[in-house]
Amino acid sequence: SAVISQKPSRDICQRGTSLTIQCQVDSQVTMMFWYRQQPGQSLTLIATANQGSEATYESGFVIDKFPISRPNLTFSTLTVSNMSPEDSSIYLCSVNVDLDQETQYFGPGTRLLVL
């Protein structure tokens, strides 16, 4: 498995502002994923982030709203831009560990509340 940490663990933000969420893994991984979980809902994939290439976004998510960085094999950031109350969610990063590529392991999540 992998040990994944996220910062911040939670935040309350004003509409119109932006928040950058960090995801750190204790080992080098090729694939990192960002998910959103709206209140009471299931998880929805935002994008897949590979090191050295641009992130691949799912339908309904765009780079201007959710820019992603992947500067190395252990770290990624997701920015939620120009936030509105509809962005209030848990944001989770996940990774495929290279020796166990079928399984995604998840970070503890970032709880975001936008007022």
Sites of contact with other proteins (CB under 8 A):
1, 30-31, 33, 41-43, 45, 48, 58, 90, 92, 94, 96, 101-109, 111
The C-alpha atoms of residue 72 and residue 90 are separated, in whole angstroms, by 24
Residue 92 CB, shortest distance to other proteins, in Å, is 6
Q: How far is the CB of 114 from other proteins (least distance, A)?
A: 17
Nearer to other proteins, 20 or 41 (CB): 41
Beta carbon of residue 43, minimum distance to other proteins (angstroms, whole number):
5
Cβ atoms within 10 Å, residue 19 = 18
Which residue lies nearer to other proteins by CB, 64 or 102? Answer: 102
CB nearer to other proteins: pick between 16 and 100: 100
CB 30 within 8 A of CB 21: no
